[in-house]
Amino acid sequence: MTSALQAGRDIRPLSESDAEVYVASVCFKTGPPGAAGVEVERLVHDVADPQAPVTVARVREAMAASAGTLPGGGVISFEPGGQLEVSSACASGLPALVAATRKDLAAVETRLSDAGLFCGPLALDAGRPAVRSLEHPRYASMERHFDGFGPAGRTMMCSTASLQISLEAGFDSPATTGAAQRWARLHNLLPVLIAMFANSPFLHGIPNGWHSNRQRTWLGIDPTRTATVPRSEDPRRAWAHYALDALVLCITSQGRCWDPPQGLTMRDWLHGNGPRPATLGDLQYHLTTLFPPVRPRGFLELRVIDAQAGHDWEPVTAIVTALMDDEHAADLAADACAPLTSLPDPMRTAAREGLSNAALALAARFCAEAALDALPRLGADATTRSRAEDFIERNTARGRCPAQERLDLWHRTGSWFAHPEPREAFTDAK
């Protein structure tokens, strides 16, 4: 591969072999576990009428004073349905990440409040229709592409919110801190993490028996870009094959329509079957349109966790980081998750049943205990540890997930937006 290709500036046609080498070479950037980032995405509602649509334009106007970076160094972005996302700066470790993100979210919530808006508690909009209010050729092409697979794509784009955690890929070595081993361990954790943190029990405004309807939605979208990357002893090569075999979502141009030829994969395009020769820039853009449960972007981006209510993003981020970056906790989690391979379609089972599934509940309790034990070793402050303990006491230790807390509140109050009772209310719960 030429140095110009590596610099990402060459507009000459790209060969299939060069494309595979490039994708494999950039998916893991080796380094020691520790560095981390988080993306906190939220559904946004109107205080006066929570069921009223809130457009991207209105959220953007509320955030106008946040041009540039936030107090903690993070940045704001906007999703097609009006969701707001706060992306942290990369931090050296869990304590720095949490401290910076607390500042960012406090600033965002203050500005939303000043504009008569608030962040919703769910990961999938319980009542409002999925309507796109962000105009851009990328999202128009995405909408048309996903419509070919059913309604789940529009729901994902406009009505879901997630908590994405990014972790260092690891060393280029065969040890437990090696990139291939961390990649495998994070994939083994997926069913437990989906079940532990499920927080979207409503579909079209009512319970439908699933604990994570957000994950259910993702399971209904173009599998060439959302399915799990196939298991392999060489994850770099597996990711390269996955990326090239995925359908092309859009082809950037000066015009307003970025739709590709129907059924075109990246590999087809590299073979000369597209509207023009594919370049490195096209490949790089294509990689941004792939959404597997774990996406390698130099670091490991975890994409299966539902958005959380209030400050629950913090204990979830701490628990996940502990289970990956503390070696002892990671070993315990690996042992706890090993039996889950016998579950039928583990990720679907986790999304549907949450911790009402006995095997998932048992694994989750072991993982929670391991994470709590690891937090002092990672330098987590007293607030983070207390919030993690509270989250586990309310949920994991009782074989429950946040979705069940939201369902209880809804049954008691008839509202999707009710606040949970104080921690003491759970002390005597059966």
Higher pLDDT among residues 8 and 11, named by residue: 11
Q: Number of C-alpha atoms within 13 angstroms, CB side, residue 54?
A: 30
Long-range contact set of residues 221-226: C-beta below 8 Å, sequence gap at least 24? 221/146, 221/149, 221/152, 221/153, 221/156, 221/291, 222/145, 222/146, 222/148, 222/149, 222/153, 222/247, 224/265, 225/249, 225/289, 225/290, 225/291, 225/292, 226/291, 226/292
What is the per-residue DSSP string for 168-192?
---BSSSSTTBHHHHHHHHHHHHHH
What mean pLDDT do residues 158-183 have? 90
What mean pLDDT do residues 394-417 have? 96
Residue 105 to residue 125: CA distance in whole angstroms = 20
Tabulate helix, strand, coil % of the chain (nearest 5).
50, 10, 40
- The answer, yes or no, to whether residue 421 has pLDDT greater than 90, is no
Residue 375 in contact with residue 388, Cβ under 8 Å? Answer: yes
pLDDT of residue 33: 82
How far, in whole angstroms, is CA 75 from its chain's centroid? 16
| pLDDT band, very low/low/confident/very high, at 66 (cuts 50, 70, 90) | low
- The answer, yes or no, to whether residue 83 has pLDDT greater than 80, is yes
Q: What percent of the chain has pLDDT over 70?
A: 94
Higher pLDDT among residues 371 and 66, named by residue: 371
**Mean pLDDT comparison of 27-31, 361-365, 423-427, highest-scoring range:** 361-365
pLDDT of residue 35: 85
Residue 232 in contact with residue 123, Cβ under 8 Å? Answer: no
| pLDDT band, very low/low/confident/very high, at 407 (cuts 50, 70, 90) | very high
Specify the residue for token string 């039928």: 344
Q: What percent of the chain has pLDDT over 90?
A: 87
Residue 43 to residue 387: CA distance in whole angstroms = 22
| pLDDT band, very low/low/confident/very high, at 31 (cuts 50, 70, 90) | confident
| pLDDT band, very low/low/confident/very high, at 115 (cuts 50, 70, 90) | very high
- The answer, yes or no, to whether residue 402 has pLDDT greater than 90, is yes
Threshold 0.85, pTM exceeds: yes
- The answer, yes or no, to whether residue 5 has pLDDT greater than 70, is no
Residue 69 in contact with residue 355, Cβ under 8 Å? Answer: no
| pLDDT band, very low/low/confident/very high, at 68 (cuts 50, 70, 90) | low
| pLDDT band, very low/low/confident/very high, at 54 (cuts 50, 70, 90) | very high
- The answer, yes or no, to whether residue 294 has pLDDT greater than 60, is yes
Specify the residue for token string 């990014």: 166
Structure tokens, 402: 């946040």
Structure tokens, 15: 């060969």
Closest CA to 105 of 308, 355, 340, 334: 308
Specify the residue for token string 């579909």: 203
What mean pLDDT do residues 405-413 have? 96
Residue 374 to residue 364: CA distance in whole angstroms = 15
Within a 10 A sphere around the Cβ of 234, how many other Cβ atoms? 11
Residue 178 to residue 275: CA distance in whole angstroms = 41
What mean pLDDT do residues 163-185 have? 88
Residue 165 to residue 200: CA distance in whole angstroms = 18
- The answer, yes or no, to whether residue 181 has pLDDT greater than 90, is yes
What mean pLDDT do residues 157-182 have? 90
| pLDDT band, very low/low/confident/very high, at 8 (cuts 50, 70, 90) | very low
| pLDDT band, very low/low/confident/very high, at 67 (cuts 50, 70, 90) | low
- The answer, yes or no, to whether residue 147 has pLDDT greater than 60, is yes
Residue 178 to residue 197: CA distance in whole angstroms = 27
pLDDT of residue 10: 58
What mean pLDDT do residues 188-197 have? 98
pLDDT of residue 34: 82
When the pLDDT of each residue in the chain is averaged and rounded to a whole number, the result is 93
- The residue type of 243 is A
What mean pLDDT do residues 15-34 have? 90
- The answer, yes or no, to whether residue 42 has pLDDT greater than 50, is yes
Q: Work out the end-to-end distance of the chain between its first and last CA atoms, rounded to an integer number of angstroms.
A: 62
